[in-house]
Structure 1
């Protein structure tokens, strides 16, 4: 809906400069609401006109701003043109703002902000997002939880903006650790214990054999031999590996379901074995595969061709490495799924790995590697349960649910709920998600359960609480029609602040998509909750004249819809009672 107001201003700029009005729409931005003073609504920086070639670069910006401001006129949409030093601010007709914006949300609540002309510049098509990607039989630690939450947000956002999204969970299901696990299970494993608690037993076997391997060379040799048998598809080794993988995927599906997360493909390093040989042949044919004195296969990545920087792609015994399998997976995916862009979500320690991966793909002549992106994130410290260190994701989810349930039972404002445990689970997951997504992804952060689960402050519980209060208000006044409303009743400062803020929604989604950073959307929703909570306190529906009640209900209903939409993009299921 912001585009209606941008288009009106762009039409004036079009007449002045002779460019089509579509040219100017992306240059106009909605001004964030200020707590201290009334804010203008839309801003145009003259520097953006210079950068886009409309104005010459060598003239005084203040003089250019003053000259342009004199040519802009007030009309039915623009009430005031306010020149600054290097920017021009516009105040728009607030009656028109209330009418147009709230009609737009009310008419198409689920698609509000998603049809904006701002998104015309975005690349559409098929987006493949690889995220979560835990290693079979290892700890599903906080890093995998971060990858899961972040990747789900990116997939949701891309889908909301019109991309066809393929969600891939690329399991760590190959490599030398499976040599260790296979060799260890043959000595220490029990099929009976697998039936009782499969993941826990595999994890215990892996930990024990890993410790033994540090002291015992024969175990390391047995592990290398088991992995060699795996790569040669020896039947007994392959059968045991398939059993481990099937058990793990089945268990992970159940846990992801609790998070409300699904994947289109559970693939893994093992899926691309046949393609790996093709990749090695391609590297060899192009003269890129070198053999070192130790017998390892490497690719020279140095600019000078002096091996000052290289990547190992083959061990001396002929077995593959993580990077080899990732190259094969990328080529395989392009052939099978024909993606337009591919996004990897892993922790920042793997940044160098992905730089090498993308460089080797380009050296192999795959120009689409330019459309591959790594989204790195920082580490989480202090995420542990009351019983000790987190082992699996399920421990984190149980802890969040149990603590939230305890908080709800102690709260005097909690409502009667059909399923308190389910509500507590949804609130706990909301808390985890907002804590994780509210800062730059690259940042490390310390985890504190008490802070995360607070209903006050900028938390996931606060978002859910605000949404539930709005739902309660709308239920209470369900008999009051707000199909038609008079925008004159929404001209107070509280209503206007909320309306001005809602006007920014499409810009926030665009910024989130361009940067693949969720914090912009999180901050938008938190500010919306503060503005709506303030309006809810100061603008009662009960006891107000019918026309005033109708207008306020329309505002609260639309704010509730946008809040729910934004939460779903973040991966949060909105609750209607708590």
Structure 2
């Protein structure tokens, strides 16, 4: 039952026939405090046509609205606030959730539409740091939310496998590398070499030129250099996939920057043909004076192509390959100007679909208030954090529930879930100060708190030994109605999360829903043997459905026992 739709229909039928249901629906709000009512309609937009103060309109209209589902209609300032009959409305809402199960909250507005997501995109030959967690888990959650709304998704891991840094790494390996050490522990050894190159380059500037020359050999297909590059790439991908497996993240494509090497000349040719390419201090650029942006660099003075060239080639390829309706780039906000330039160039080339390309920026993980940097060695390795979180969860389980079956599997779900949820509960544009203490707290507004609430609900159902299907006949207490009102918001929350590309909307909703259920649990004897036990258990089951599906949308698991 959509309570907002019912209110909108009553407003239209009884008072506002000239308005559409959708116009009224979109204006209806949920009061911040439950004592003010379940829904509220603001009268500000009526003041101009009715030539009355909004508060007066609210008073007059509130007196005329009637419905068997409403127990109270009142004017609160310029708002018309309504209170639903919790027993009658609750029966419709909970019954609907039970009937739909995990499909509750599903939308269809994305059907026959495709969304391409460019996400994660770590650099080969470098360890997977906390800095890459945000793009990975935000992108994965947005993709899952999109699928819940009916979209087909293509998740692309645009691996950083090209650029001058690989010339530098090859120089470092040839100067100081031990092949046996690299074979034994590739990522760690290559990372040591990468840091050493930059330390030595500060003392000997000629190393930078050596790195550039090595990369030029790579671009030219030198056999030895290409062999080393391919080896570094293969080892890196294997290491990355171990982490993706822990996070429960999969991709449809691993086409990295190098994949587009033979596709960039088309971009240059198109730009030349439309007279958009200009020379600037020996480099080839596209000017963007009309967009108040710096020139977009297409080719350097030595003829080498750049990130923008590859991103333009990638955009053309992806539109041809996937015919996307939206292309989302889940990349840090420091790349905002870069994506504005890329999209501007595409529009100059006449590709109107560039309007459907969107940069989805996010803040940084900071360490001691500073940006993490692999070059300077100021980095925290994600795999180490995940393993520490799993161990902490495992220790917690041993203390509180030593006989739990599959304890390690539960610890993995809880530990990894704690890291993912900690990230996603934050607004994606905010920076996050790295703190293991905050990430791995298993109380308060955390992933484990949501998971524990779900496990508590499942425990109640097991304890009741309910064999026949649960049905909800209605409950009249205020606490159960508070829970039901939370549950009825789930479809709206999913749509809002998609509209704003904001998984935090769902994370915050899950916290509020868990808090509401736990208040209900504390005040109500759910298994009491009376004639309302069946309805109370049905409500518990509905809560479990919503929590499990909400956690799934964020990329975390919901263990039935903890």
Alpha carbons of structure 1 residues 517 and 444: separation in structure 2 relative to 1, 3 Å: same
Alpha carbons of structure 1 residues 340 and 476: separation in structure 2 relative to 1, 3 Å: same
Unaligned stretches of 5+ in structure 1?
A: none
Bigger shift: residues 394-403 or 443-452: 443-452
Structure 1 position 469 matched with structure 2 position 487: no
User: Which residue matches 2:70?
Assistant: 78
User: Which residue matches 1:564?
Assistant: 548
* Equivalent residues in 2 for 1:247-396, closer than 5 Å: 247-293=235-281, 295-303=282-290, 309-382=294-367, 390-396=379-385
State the alpha-carbon separation in 1 of the partners of residues 261 and 61 from structure 2: 63
Q: Do 1:43 and 1:89's aligned partners in 2 also have CA atoms closer than 8 Å? A: yes
Alpha carbons of structure 1 residues 222 and 108: separation in structure 2 relative to 1, 3 Å: same
* Equivalent residues in 2 for 1:408-487, closer than 5 Å: 408-410=397-399, 413-414=400-401, 416-479=403-466, 481=468, 483-487=470-474
State the alpha-carbon separation in 2 of the partners of residues 371 and 477 from structure 1: 51
Partner residue of 2:85 out of 82, 86, 93: 93
Q: Do 1:390 and 1:396's aligned partners in 2 also have CA atoms closer than 8 Å? A: no
Structure 1 position 553 matched with structure 2 position 545: no
State the alpha-carbon separation in 2 of the partners of residues 201 and 186 from structure 1: 13
**1:154 to partner: Cα distance:** 0.6
Partner residue of 2:386 out of 375, 397, 414: 397
User: Which residue matches 2:49?
Assistant: 56
State the alpha-carbon separation in 1 of the partners of residues 323 and 549 from structure 2: 30
State the alpha-carbon separation in 2 of the partners of residues 70 and 543 from structure 1: 41
Q: Do 2:95 and 2:472's aligned partners in 1 also have CA atoms closer than 8 Å? A: no
Q: Do 1:397 and 1:428's aligned partners in 2 also have CA atoms closer than 8 Å? A: yes
State the alpha-carbon separation in 1 of the partners of residues 50 and 420 from structure 2: 44
Q: Do 1:69 and 1:81's aligned partners in 2 also have CA atoms closer than 8 Å? A: yes
Give the TM-score normalised by the residue count of structure 1.
0.90
State the alpha-carbon separation in 2 of the partners of residues 171 and 246 from structure 1: 12
Q: Structure 1, residues 289-336: CA drift from partner, whole Å, max 9, x if none?
A: 11123x11122111299xx83222211111111122112111111111
State the alpha-carbon separation in 1 of the partners of residues 466 and 488 from structure 2: 28
**1:183 to partner: Cα distance:** 2.6
Bigger shift: residues 511-520 or 148-157: 511-520
User: Which residue matches 1:208?
Assistant: 196
State the alpha-carbon separation in 2 of the partners of residues 222 and 453 from structure 1: 44
Structure 1 position 41 matched with structure 2 position 26: no
Structure 1 position 69 matched with structure 2 position 62: yes
Q: Do 2:217 and 2:225's aligned partners in 1 also have CA atoms closer than 8 Å? A: yes
Q: Do 2:248 and 2:555's aligned partners in 1 also have CA atoms closer than 8 Å? A: yes
**1:62 to partner: Cα distance:** 3.0
User: Which residue matches 2:5?
Assistant: 6
Partner residue of 1:197 out of 182, 185, 188: 185
SS at match of 1:400: helix
Structure 1 position 499 matched with structure 2 position 499: no
Bigger shift: residues 202-211 or 167-176: 202-211
SS at match of 2:344: helix
Cα root mean square deviation, aligned: 2.5
**1:39 to partner: Cα distance:** 4.2
Q: Do 1:300 and 1:310's aligned partners in 2 also have CA atoms closer than 8 Å? A: yes
